[in-house]
Amino acid sequence: MRIAVVNCNTTESMTETAAARARLAVGPDTTVVAITPSWGVESAEGWYDSFISAAAVLHTLESLPADIDGVVMAGFGEHGREGARELLDIPVVDITEASAHLAMLLGRRYGVVTTVRRAVGQIEDSLTTAGLLGHCVAVEDTGLGVLEIDADPIATADAFVAAGEHAIARGAEVICLGCAGMAGLEEHVRDRLPVPVIDGVATAAALVEALIRQRLTTSKLDSYARPLPKSRRWPGADDRALTTERVR
């Protein structure tokens, strides 16, 4: 079994962080393939970045290796999830909804701790689209930019704990890591917070693996039907035309 972990940005170190966490969450017979878009944004922080990121990720998924059995979309609150499910016939799990689904199995109300304040609206909208916002009582930011997360692990953990305490004060019974770059941070903060802390990358990888083992994939009736046949064109040096003939 081969699962692709697709980063939402072009920062290779973040791709490897997410892929490493995913590998710990799956069985020994499952291979995790780390994929970084060849173009896009170095970090996705805000609506503008997110839409560029979504286009880059969907472009990347157009040429997904044929031996990939499922996809983890490693961008918290980023766009492109629904488009990827139209595009592919294999399971696609986004870390945003994966962490929220798991949180709701562990408590009635959950919170998200993310990076910068401007990401809050995107996360709320992503959870709304997935039908999961109703049990989210807080989306708290740490004030850290995506690329700052690895700069000072101690400061990152302290900022996460402080934001997590705010979410708990607002009624959160479970906390979700609100950025793929935070993957693995739960190991350093779970003893400092009185509630479960969930990493969406690990959760999404485990869910994709379970779907593959049960031979389940995205329904192609109505909502996630294949894209309509037409000429589509991505920007690039060769300006190659895209058609749905190339879609898996």
pLDDT in tens, the chain (248 residues): 999 999 999 999 999 999 999 999 999 999 999 999 999 999 999 999 999 999 999 999 999 999 999 999 999 999 999 999 999 999 999 999 999 999 999 999 999 999 999 999 999 999 999 999 999 999 999 999 998 988 888 899 999 999 999 999 999 999 999 999 999 999 989 899 999 999 999 999 999 999 999 999 999 999 999 999 999 888 764 444 444 444 44
Show the domain range for 175.
96-199
Last residue of a domain, one of 199, 223, 238: 199
Asked if 242 and 220 sit in the same domain, the reply is yes
Asked if 102 and 193 sit in the same domain, the reply is yes
Asked if 67 and 125 sit in the same domain, the reply is no
The 3-state secondary structure of 112-158, one letter per residue: EEECCHHHHHHHHHHHHHCCCHHHEEEEEECCCCHHHCCCCHHHHHH
CB 197 within 8 A of CB 110: no
How many structural domains comprise the chain?
Answer: 2
DSSP code, position 181: G
Asked if 88 and 109 sit in the same domain, the reply is no
Q: What's the confidence (pLDDT) of residue 12?
A: 96
Asked if 111 and 82 sit in the same domain, the reply is no
Parallel, antiparallel, or unpaired for β 110-114 and 70-74? unpaired
Q: Pick from 83, 79, 86, 54: which is nearest to 222 by CA? A: 86
Asked if 17 and 111 sit in the same domain, the reply is no
Asked if 12 and 86 sit in the same domain, the reply is yes
Amino acid at site 152 = D
Q: What's the confidence (pLDDT) of residue 243?
A: 44
The 3-state secondary structure of 16-29, one letter per residue: HHHHHHHHHHCCCC
Asked if 195 and 100 sit in the same domain, the reply is yes
Instruction: Name residue, tokens 């998200």.
Output: 112
Distance CA 195, CA 174 (A): 5
Q: What backbone phi and psi angles, to 5 degrees, belong to 160?
A: -65, -45
| Number of Cβ within a 10 Å radius of residue 109 | 18
In angstroms, the Cα distances linking 181 to 8, 29, 35, 231 are: 10, 25, 14, 35
Asked if 85 and 130 sit in the same domain, the reply is no
CB 78 within 8 A of CB 163: no
* HSE (side-chain half, CA atoms, 13 Å) at 210: 9
Asked if 100 and 72 sit in the same domain, the reply is no
In sequence order, what are the beta bridge partners of 111? 138, 175
Instruction: Name residue, tokens 């993310």.
Output: 114
Asked if 102 and 191 sit in the same domain, the reply is yes
CB 76 within 8 A of CB 68: no
Q: What's the confidence (pLDDT) of residue 236?
A: 66
pTM: 0.91
Asked if 210 and 87 sit in the same domain, the reply is yes
Amino acid at site 196 = P
What CATH number should be reported for the domain holding residue 125? Answer: 3.40.50.12500
